[in-house]
């Protein structure tokens, strides 16, 4: 099927790693659909080459291009940067139907049957089930819809500041009109639900078709030990991802993606790759509890493979500090005080 495609998005090299694992998982389960990734100029040249190995189409979109109608919207609503980039998926009119998937999703089985659904089909959001979650949705590319979405973005903004709010405002009858547009939750199982409704996860989790690593901490932010094939995790954190799915993600990453990243020079050695986010960033990740759109996200995600400079020397070794965090012994008044964390964040942001 050349007029139907899975579509994802990555605006930087960190999310690109997620996109690569997603693309690889779709191929592993023998999709017959095309694979398309939208990227922005921030994605490095070498990463683009790797994306081209997994995706049929790597499409560069630049919302700052003044010929683009999104440009004007962005001028008015600068907070909607990534959201507007995601809307570009409606401009892929070479396809008659698409399934958009966030770069932080992972496919566990063939899901080509989703293309039998109509626009806009999506699964309920675990936080507010009368809204759909915009991590997985079936849609029909159309310039008209694209322009209407941009118009709504510029006139009304988004109630949550992101794409999910805007899309729920636009497709506002989703909750009440057509049950066929409600995808079963197993097409977008968010890791958060495992903890918020454990008995349901135990009863139905085995049927999961797509896992969504929704939230601030993404699989690529964890540290993976290839020897034991396990991921370090912290049971104190409510956003922590189920280790089973996390290990699946890392298995695909180390087996199928890492060799490509090494071949194209995105990462120099395995050690750097697997310890990309140790130390300070890990501490930051666990320092501010559960918040979906936390400000630290950008700072954390810019510490991608290959471009991570060594963190400033903390008062105790970062390993030791991490251990203490995991045991619930954060030094709130000293090294881990808000002011210290903010100062370090500022250093990264400069
Ligand atoms: N995204 C991106 N760069 C960013 C943030 C988001 O490319 O800096 C894309 C990516 O495809 C991501 C999607 O937008 O999966 C939605 O963001 P995210 O998954 O972080 O939101 P969540 O699902 O955690 O609410
Ligand atoms: Mn997501």
Of 135, 158, 183, the residue that ends a domain is 183
The answer to whether position 198 is within a domain reads no
Structure tokens at 268: 């120099």
**Is-contact 90 139, C-beta < 8 A?**
yes
d(CA 218, CA 150): 28
Structural domain span for residue 334: 318-349
Same domain, 38 and 157: yes
Same domain, 55 and 167: yes
pLDDT at 253: 97
Mean predicted lDDT score pLDDT of the chain: 83
Using one digit for the tens of pLDDT, what is the confidence trace for 256-304?
999 999 999 998 765 555 554 443 344 344 333 332 333 333 333 333 3
The answer to whether position 204 is within a domain reads no
Most distant CA atoms of the chain, gap in Å: 59
Closest atom of ligand 1 to CA, residue 298: 8
Residues contacting 322, CB < 8 A, separation 6+: 278, 279, 282, 283
**Is-contact 139 205, C-beta < 8 A?**
no
d(CA 213, CA 245): 9
CATH number of residue 162's parent domain: 3.90.550.10
Same domain, 278 and 340: no
Same domain, 117 and 26: yes
**Is-contact 136 210, C-beta < 8 A?**
yes
Using one digit for the tens of pLDDT, what is the confidence trace for 26-55?
999 999 999 999 999 999 999 999 999 999
- The answer on pLDDT for 113 being more than 50 is yes
pLDDT at 317: 61
Same domain, 259 and 345: no
Closest atom of ligand 1 to CA, residue 134: 23
- The answer on pLDDT for 22 being more than 60 is yes
The answer to whether position 342 is within a domain reads yes
Same domain, 87 and 116: yes
Using one digit for the tens of pLDDT, what is the confidence trace for 190-242?
988 888 899 999 999 999 999 999 988 899 998 888 778 888 765 555 555 67
Segments of 19-156 assigned E as strands: 34-39, 57-60, 97-101, 105-107, 121-124, 132-139
Same domain, 300 and 328: no
Same domain, 143 and 273: no
For ligand 1, atom 5: residue with the closest CA: 82
The answer to whether position 23 is within a domain reads yes
For ligand 1, atom 16: residue with the closest CA: 102
Same domain, 123 and 268: no
**Is-contact 49 264, C-beta < 8 A?**
yes
For 172, counting Cβ atoms within 10 Å of its Cβ (0-12 exposed, 13-18 middle, 19+ buried), the class is: exposed
Those residues whose beta carbon sits under 5 angstroms from the ion ligand 2 are: 102, 104, 135, 214
The answer to whether position 239 is within a domain reads yes
Rg, Å, the chain Cα set: 20
Same domain, 131 and 40: yes
Same domain, 76 and 160: yes
Rounded to 10°, the helix 69-76/143-156 angle is: 20
The answer to whether position 188 is within a domain reads no
Same domain, 283 and 225: yes
Overall number of domains in the chain? 3
């Amino acid at each position: 099927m050349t007029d139907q495609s899975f579509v994802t998005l990555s605006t930087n090299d960190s999310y690109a790693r997620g996109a690569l694992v997603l693309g690889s998982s779709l191929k592993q389960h023998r999709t017959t659909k095309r694979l398309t990734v939208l990227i922005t100029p921030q994605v490095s040249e070498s990463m683009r080459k790797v994306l081209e190995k997994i995706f049929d189409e790597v499409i560069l979109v630049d919302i700052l291009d003044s010929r683009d109608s999104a440009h004007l919207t962005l001028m008015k609503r600068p907070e909607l940067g990534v959201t507007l980039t995601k809307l570009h998926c409606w401009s892929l009119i070479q396809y008659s139907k698409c399934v958009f998937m966030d770069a932080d999703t992972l496919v566990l089985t063939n899901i080509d049957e989703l293309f039998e659904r109509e626009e806009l089909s999506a699964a309920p959001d675990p936080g507010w089930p009368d809204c759909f979650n915009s991590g997985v949705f079936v849609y029909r590319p159309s310039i008209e819809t694209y322009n209407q979405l941009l118009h709504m973005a510029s006139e009304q903004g988004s109630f949550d500041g992101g794409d999910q709010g805007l899309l729920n405002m636009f497709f506002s009858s989703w909750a009440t009109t057509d049950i066929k547009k409600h995808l079963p939750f197993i097409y977008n199982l968010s890791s958060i639900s495992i903890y918020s409704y454990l008995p349901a996860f135990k009863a139905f989790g085995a049927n999961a078709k797509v896992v969504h690593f929704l939230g601030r901490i993404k699989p690529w932010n964890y540290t993976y030990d290839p020897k034991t094939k396990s991921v370090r995790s912290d049971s104190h954190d409510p956003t922590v991802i189920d280790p089973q799915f996390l290990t699946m993600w890392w298995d695909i990453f180390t087996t199928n993606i890492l060799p490509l990243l090494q071949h194209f020079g995105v990462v120099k050695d395995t050690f750097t790759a697997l310890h990309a986010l140790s130390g300070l960033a890990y501490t930051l990740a666990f320092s501010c509890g559960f918040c979906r759109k936390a400000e630290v996200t950008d700072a954390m995600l810019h510490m991608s493979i290959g471009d991570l400079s060594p963190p400033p020397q903390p008062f105790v070794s970062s390993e030791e500090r991490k251990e203490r965090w995991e045991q619930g012994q954060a030094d709130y008044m000293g090294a881990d005080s808000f002011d210290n964390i903010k100062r370090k964040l500022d250093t990264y942001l400069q």
